[in-house]
Amino acid sequence: MKNNLFLTKTYYASLALLLFSNNALAAQYTIPDSIFSDNGWAKPLDGTLSSNTDFNYNSATYKANFGINHGGTDLISILNNPVYAIDDGEVLRVAQLPNSTFFGINGDLSHIFAKHTDINGKDFLVIYGHVSAIDGLKVGDKITQGQKIGVVKKFNYPDHVHFGISSDVQDYLVPVWGSIYGSITDPIEFLKNTKNKAAPITYRPLFNGSGSLVDASSECLGCNRDVAVLQASSKNLSMAAFQWIYNAQTCSHINLKATEAVNLSIQTKAWSAQNFKSAFTVSLAANQVVSIAKADDMIPWSLISIVSQQALANNASLEASCQVQGASFQEANRQSATPQAIVLADGSQWAGTGSIISAIAQNAHGFNKDVAISSSSKSTSNFQWQATSTCSSLQLVDYRKPSSTRAAQVSVKLWNASNTSYAAKCTSLPCTLKADAMGFYTVAIQTEAGVIEGKNILATCTN
Statement to judge: residues 176 and 218 lie in one domain: no
Q: CA dist 60 to 27, 66, 70, 411, 433, Å?
A: 13, 10, 9, 40, 48
Q: Are residues 252 and 345 in the same domain?
A: yes
* In a shared domain, residues 133 and 223: no
Q: Domain check: are 230 and 140 in the same one? A: no
Distance (Å, whole) CA 110 – CA 174: 15
Of 171, 198, 225, the residue at which a domain comes to its end is: 198
CA 145 vs CA 87, 89, 241: distances in Å: 4, 8, 27
Residues 223 and 264 placed together within one structural domain of the fold: yes
Q: Which CATH number goes with the domain that contains 74?
A: 2.70.70.10
Per-residue pLDDT in tens (0 to 9) along the chain, 463 residues:
333 333 333 343 334 334 443 444 447 899 998 888 878 898 999 988 999 888 889 888 777 777 778 889 999 999 999 999 999 999 999 999 888 765 455 678 899 999 999 877 899 999 999 999 999 999 999 998 889 999 999 876 788 999 999 999 999 888 777 788 889 999 999 998 887 765 444 457 888 888 888 888 888 888 899 999 999 887 788 999 999 999 888 999 999 999 999 999 999 999 888 889 999 999 999 999 999 998 877 688 999 999 998 888 899 999 999 998 889 999 999 998 888 888 888 888 898 898 888 767 666 668 888 999 988 888 999 999 999 998 999 999 999 889 889 899 999 999 988 888 899 999 999 999 999 999 999 999 999 877 777 788 999 999 8
- CA dist 135 and 186 (Å) reads 30
215 and 191 assigned to the same domain: no
Residues 381, 347 share a domain:
yes
**HSE-up of 341 (CA within 13 Å, CB side)?**
17
Cα Rg of the chain (Å, integer): 26
Shared domain check, 193 and 210: no
Question: Residue 109: which domain range?
Answer: 2-198
* Boundary residue ending a domain (151, 182, 198): 198
> Both 331 and 398 in a single domain?
yes
Q: Are 55 and 20 in contact (CB under 8 A)?
A: yes
- Same domain (yes/no): 113, 184: yes
Is the same domain home to 236 and 342? yes
User: Of 160, 180, 198, which residue sits at a domain end?
Assistant: 198
pTM above 0.85, yes or no: no
Domains identified in the chain, total number:
2
Residue 247 and residue 164 share a domain: no
Query: Looking at the DSSP assignment, which residues form a beta bridge with residue 324?
Result: none
